[in-house]
Amino acid sequence: SEAGTRGLQPRVLVLANQKGGVGKTTTAINLGTALAAIGEKVLIIDLDPQGNASTGLGIDRKSRQISTYHVLSGEASLAESITETVVPGLSVAPSTLDLLGVELEIANERNRVHRLQSAIRGLSASEVSEPFTYILIDCPPSLNLLTINALTAADAVLVPLQCEFFALEGLSQLLKTVEQVRSALNPQLTIHGVVLTMFDPRNNLSGQVVADVRQFMGSKVYETMIPRNVRVSEAPSHGKPVLLYDLKCAGSQAYLRLASEVIQRERALRAA
Ligand code: ADP
Ligand code: MG
């Protein structure tokens, strides 16, 4: 049936916030791992030239011969860039610093904002042994052409917000950009949710920020908050998601809860 066929399309979620250091990459890696751990087949597309998602998943430079740079510049297909990770069920399309140059290279191409969308559509038609159920796109800390490509390709946006004083600053600019992409390029685009990161219950300010964000964004904010947790920050230097590094720590447990919340929202969206 048509619904059945559509059900096989991966859900494409983009991790976006033009602020750096708010937990986009950490959330891509660990939400991806948690989704894979509960049986989803997940692809992380690393769209940040820094390549932190690739490094944090243990992909060394030698294993990045075909990267998202080649995908966006049209030299390779997304399938050709896909690399397996240490996590069963989780693959990555890695990035390298070459990606910094792609924006200028394709600046005058008519289809420049649709490069990633075409690559993802091409993937579902090509022979991937087991189709992906989720694609997570890790964005750079900027609302540049890379992020616009991600928003154009996505079903929904997941916004990591750090629990700090300036958390809401910049959020309205991000929401405006999402609205512009929705009206001009991708009518299906929605906000999946806002995830509060690096929450510290001993810090009164953290609690105030949570209250403000919940007031501003209402039910869009996930119930799960990711605590500030040293194990989360140590894991990338071991080339592992925190769930493989220390499954029992508070950070791992929070990412598992976030994954089940994401899946619950997906079910609600599909039923609607
Ligand atoms: P972004 O991708 O938005 O720039 P990162 O995910 O790279 O942000 O996170 C920024 C820094 O904060 C990294 O050093 C990361 O290890 C650390 N970090 C992220 N989440 C947590 C957390 N829950 N607890 C402790 N450190 C964290
Ligand atoms: Mg990052």
Phi/psi at 250 (5° precision): -60, -35
Using alpha carbons, select from 63, 75, 29 the residue that is nearest to residue 245. Answer: 29
pLDDT digits 0-9 by tens, 211-250 = 999 999 999 999 999 999 999 999 999 999 999 999 999 9
Any ligand 1 atom below 6 A from CB of 78: no
Query: Mean of the per-residue pLDDT values for the chain?
Result: 93
Kindly give the number of the ligand 1 atom that is closest to the alpha carbon of 230. 25
Q: Is the pLDDT of residue 1 over 70?
A: no
Ligand 1 atom at shortest distance from the alpha carbon of 235: 16
The ipTM (two decimal places) reads: 0.99
Where do the domains of the chain lie?
Answer: 2-191
What CATH code is assigned to 2-191?
A: 3.40.50.300
Q: Is the CB of 28 under 6 A from ligand 1?
A: no
pTM of the model: 0.95
